[in-house]
Chains A and B, each alone.
Chain A
Amino acid sequence: MARRRAPGALEAEVLAALWAADRSLTPEEVRRQLPGELAYTTVMTILVRLHEKRAVRREALGRAYAYAPLLDEAGLSARRMQALLEGGADRDGVLSRFVASLDENSRSALRKALGPEP
């Protein structure tokens, strides 16, 4: 059974779901995208908060709103971060990646450990 999320973690998950979609999503669609049983109002609250912070934009869709990630301010930090990484900011282990790149030996060992693709 999955544990409860921290409040900040849920915001990141909602935003991640919006980024993962190729179009705007209604709160109900976002809710269905997230694992676990979340209340509609919980998702709605987070979307409103993200909108106030100018992290997402919304458009009227019938009587509700549909939400999509907003690129302006988020795009600025993404560009800065990308430039840092291309300059090798993670080379000395200052920033640790989720996974580092692997050589061929490690890759085949990993494939073996994980077994056949489901």
Chain B
Amino acid sequence: MSIDRVPLAVWVSVPLVAAALFGALGPLIARRLAPRRATWLLSVGSLLMAASTAVVLMLVVLSAAGTVPAVAGLGHWSWQRVEAGQHFGEGMAAVALVALAAQSVSAVHTGWQRGQGLVAAWIACRSSPAQLVVLPDARPAAFAVPGWPGRIVTTRGLLENFCPAERRAVLAHEQAHLDGHHDLHVTGAVLAAAVNPLLRAVPGALRLATERWADEAAASAIGDRALVAATIGRAALEPERLGPRSSQAMGVAGSDVEARVAALLRCPAARRPLLEAILAVLALTAIGASMLAAHDIGEMLQAAIVHVHPPAVAGIP
């Protein structure tokens, strides 16, 4: 069967199926990959997935909208011809339109919230003369605040209780977040998941991948994987002893810490070309299918164009 004969419905549904597979398999596969590759595959892959499903929904809406005379007039299409070439019912178009609207609202809302949080943190750190910002807090904690330049925030509790090698491991970990622009990867996946709920498990998996990436960077900075594992363990187990914890995210994060420590106590992850290829092929399939769908609908609309000059006969081609 030549590619031209494949019904449009296939090109439209392939990105949705691929996104569902990517959303389900991506997090499982990412755990087995080297963290840098897992990060790139999940962030770029989920963005391609979200883009291709959004394109497909737009095509459905556009195609159905072409049967409305006022819309057809804008594109110089004959609405009768668009209707004759129509693949999508009104019901499907309505569903696609609602989904698109929901996606846009969700993406804008999520992007705004995340952007606001990052900007607030950047503004708070901006006046610091050095890259390191030290909070007067007895509990050990550390995080990276992206910006130009990025800052590393940590606490007196961590600096005073951790030995020089442990301090260096924590600083190298946070530095790796800044150098690798991990916040951009996470932002990409968070937006992709906001657009397409089939990808909702991806941001969590991507966060774990960036943490593992930073852990590996710390391990190579101090030349000791077990020491980085022990440092993570201390940072996770010590706070209770040193003071009450403030309110913060629980749940998945706990298993993330276990996974990070386990990864450090093993050898570095080997390359897994087959698993990497599965994710890459899913993403490329989705994009390819959405482009073929765009091609089909573009041709249909092209064929429906009425040449208005010379004297147009009202409505009828």
A residues sitting closer than 8 Å to B (CB atoms) are: 1-3, 5-6, 8-9, 11-13, 15-17, 19-20, 33-35, 50, 53-55, 69-70, 73-74, 76-78, 80-86, 88-103, 105-107, 109-111, 113-114, 118
Determine the chain B residues whose CB is within 8 A of the CB of A83 once the complex forms: 124
**Residues of chain B in range 162-183 having any CB-CB distance to chain A below 8 Å:** 162, 164-165, 167-168, 170-175, 177, 179
Complex Cα distance A36/B13, Å?
57
Q: Of B69-77, B126-134, B272-280, B297-305, which stretch is located at the interface?
A: B126-134
Determine the chain A residues whose CB is within 8 A of the CB of B159 once the complex forms: 16, 19-20
A to B CB contacts below 8 Å, 23 in the list: A2-B221, A9-B175, A11-B130, A12-B132, A13-B171, A16-B171, A33-B164, A74-B129, A77-B124, A77-B125, A77-B127, A78-B134, A81-B124, A84-B121, A85-B246, A91-B247, A95-B121, A98-B140, A100-B248, A101-B239, A103-B254, A107-B237, A113-B265
Our pick among B130, B143, B164 for the contact of A12 (Cβ within 8 Å) is B130
Q: Does B39 contact A (CB under 8 A)?
A: no
Closest B residue to A107 by beta carbon equals B237
Q: Are B129 and A81 in contact (CB under 8 A)?
A: no
Q: Does B114 contact A (CB under 8 A)?
A: yes
Q: Are A1 and B258 in contact (CB under 8 A)?
A: no
Q: Are B126 and A77 in contact (CB under 8 A)?
A: yes
Q: Does B90 contact A (CB under 8 A)?
A: no
A69, A91, A95 pick with most chain B CB within 10 angstroms: A95
Known: A55-B129, A96-B143. 13 other contacts (CB 8 A): A11-B131, A19-B132, A69-B134, A78-B134, A83-B124, A93-B203, A93-B207, A94-B113, A94-B121, A98-B143, A102-B250, A110-B233, A110-B261
Complex Cα distance A81/B151, Å?
11
Q: Are B253 and A100 in contact (CB under 8 A)?
A: yes
Q: Does B104 contact A (CB under 8 A)?
A: no
Q: Are B124 and A80 in contact (CB under 8 A)?
A: yes
Least Cβ–Cβ distance between B172 and chain A, in angstroms:
7
Determine the chain A residues whose CB is within 8 A of the CB of B131 once the complex forms: 8, 11-12, 15
Q: Across the A-B interface, how many residue pairs have beta carbons closer than 8 Å? A: 217
Q: Does B292 contact A (CB under 8 A)?
A: no
Our pick among B117, B130, B265 for the contact of A53 (Cβ within 8 Å) is B130
Contact A81/B121 with A55-B130, A100-B256, A102-B236 known, Cβ cut-off 8 Å: yes
Q: Are B130 and A90 in contact (CB under 8 A)?
A: no
Contact A81/B246 with A94-B117, A105-B254, A107-B237 known, Cβ cut-off 8 Å: no
Determine the chain A residues whose CB is within 8 A of the CB of B223 once the complex forms: 1-3
Complex Cα distance A43/B127, Å?
24
Q: Are B250 and A103 in contact (CB under 8 A)?
A: yes
Our pick among A69, A76, A99, A105 for the contact of B236 (Cβ within 8 Å) is A99
Complex Cα distance A28/B84, Å?
84
Complex Cα distance A55/B134, Å?
11
B132, B143, B258, B261 pick with most chain A CB within 10 angstroms: B132
